[in-house]
Amino acid sequence: MKLSFFGAAKQVTGSMYLLTLDSGYKILIDCGMDYEMKKNPVARAQLFPFEPVTVDLVILTHAHIDHSGNLPALVGAGFKGHIICTPATAELTQFLLFDSANIQWSNYRKTLANTKKTKRDYIEKPLFNEKQVKDCIDQFLTLNLNKDFRINPEISLKLVEAGHLLGAASVALTITEKGVTQTIGFTGDLGRANSKLVRNGEILEGVSYLITEATYGGRKHMVEKSAEDELLNYIQKTCIEFRGRLVIPAFSVGRTQAIVFTIRQLKQKGLIPSWLKVFVDSPLAIKSTPVYERHAYLLNEEAHSFMRENGSLFQFEGIEYLEDMDQHEELMHYYDPCIIISAAGMVEGGRIQEHVMNNIENPYSTILIAGYCAEGTLGHRLLLGQSTIKIKNKDKNVYAQIARTDVYSSHPDHDEVKNYILNTRDNSQGNFRKVFLVHGDIPHLEAMRVSLEESGLSGKVVVPDMLEEFYL
Ligand SMILES: [Zn+2]
């Protein structure tokens, strides 16, 4: 069989790998949106460097757009097969895809309106529309974790808990060709041990080839406190001492729920005052939070025991979920101390940008970055510590406190990924042939490669290039 790397090779986004069996059967693992296309225009000249109509099956590891975001375009380009994922991933993915279609079309309309008629033909069109999202959802086929699923006499599939996001799975494909059976493991994105809400991930077994993320290769998460202690510290300083606003940019799916649950725990313990209001300003968070409640069986013991004793994880006195723009506008004129959680996580677009603008010149406010911010994004620029910053073409003085925390990181750091890989090798009883490192920038992938080579995997570690192919 042949393994082709069509995304997330020597970069983080655009996860997409194609397995072509000797029989011609084609399985695509993930079909993510590539936010780094401009970095590599030659390699990414085509959205799909293969014929979508010839793909037999797609397996989706989890809902994040950099893994799922090109699925509607794949369907629009003729893919007719099933898209297999867990039930929670199917639910979260549909909300994210509709949201992505809306964002693309609203940006497109804005650009059209601001472009001269003669130049409008050159504007990049949205990758898909709502109709294609609906068609794509019709092709979803859900599979629970840890169930062996036989695709045909040669191929069987198992999804294993990844611990990265609700419903996120690693994929084990066991394939027999010419009497030889091999298991190809795709980690998808991995999680950290003892994350908020989600259970710990599990190791794949009996793997011959492992395709793993190494987003944080060479880096160590600076986590000295629990999420409760970390958040309490910022709440006390900003909202109680300074009577300011704590603004937290957060992805609507996953990060927002983890932060809300932490605040719920602090309120339950009486550690923050009942008058302190919490605003979740994100329609997508309103849609995705009930998915966490519907799939509560996927949550960890901490969440379960809290639910047994206190009921809802996400509803409590003083929290308001804002859907309409009117409510958002009202919040922009709310000047009491409060906590504002809003998207997007990297502060690129979305309602959060307005909250950042509204608070950046207020020395009593804190902007707490709680996730990864890619270079060039407003979140990344905020963290550079400049004294002035351009937001929406306006120069703003930075008087607010800018802080960052790693406690909510949903990816493992260097040692955690390395241990995962070494444990997978040990679990594979001599079958283990090679590990391919993906989903990371070159320095991070290289740091992981060197470290693995020194730890007994010499000659078995590959950092594949975009479009590179391997025969397994
Ligand atoms: Zn992810």
Helix, strand or coil for residue 359? helix
Q: Per-residue pLDDT tens for 407-462?
A: 998 899 999 999 999 999 999 988 899 999 999 999 999 999 999 999 999 999 99
Q: Which residues of 12-25 are buried (b: 16+ CB within 10 A; e: fewer)?
A: bbbbbbbbbbeeeb
The share of the chain scoring above pLDDT 70, in percent, equals: 98
Ligand 1 center to residue 61 CA distance, Å? 9
Query: Does the structure show a pLDDT above 80 at 37?
Result: no
Q: How far is the CA of 330 from the centre of ligand 1 (A)?
A: 33
CATH number of 227-404: 3.40.50.10890
CATH number at 2-219+410-471: 3.60.15.10
Q: How far is the CA of 405 from the centre of ligand 1 (A)?
A: 18
Q: Where does residue 242 rank: exposed (0-12), middle (13-18), buried (19+ CB within 10 A)?
A: middle
Please say if the pLDDT value at position 43 is more than 60.
no
Q: How far is the CA of 332 from the centre of ligand 1 (A)?
A: 31
Arithmetic mean of pLDDT, 16-38: 92
Strands (E) across 260-361 are located at 277-281, 319-322, 338-342
Q: Determine the distance separating the centroid of ligand 1 and the alpha carbon of 195, expressed in angstroms.
A: 14
237 CA distance to ligand 1 centroid (A)?
A: 31
Calculate how far, in angstroms, residue 208's C-alpha sits from the geometric centre of ligand 1: 24
> Which of residues 41 and 171 earns the better pLDDT score?
171
Question: In terms of DSSP bridges, do strands 245-249 and 180-186 run parallel, antiparallel, or are they unpaired?
Answer: unpaired
Give residue 380 CA to ligand 1 midpoint distance, Å: 19
* 266 CA from centroid of ligand 1 (Å): 27
pLDDT exceeds 90 at position 393? no
| Residue 64 CA, ligand 1 centroid: distance in Å | 5
Task: Name residues with Cβ closer than 5 Å to ligand 1, which is an ion.
Answer: 64, 189
Domain extent listing, the chain: 2-219+410-471, 227-404
Tell me how many degrees the CA angle 335-338-342 measures, rounded to the nearest 5.
105
CA of 19 to the centre of ligand 1 (A): 21
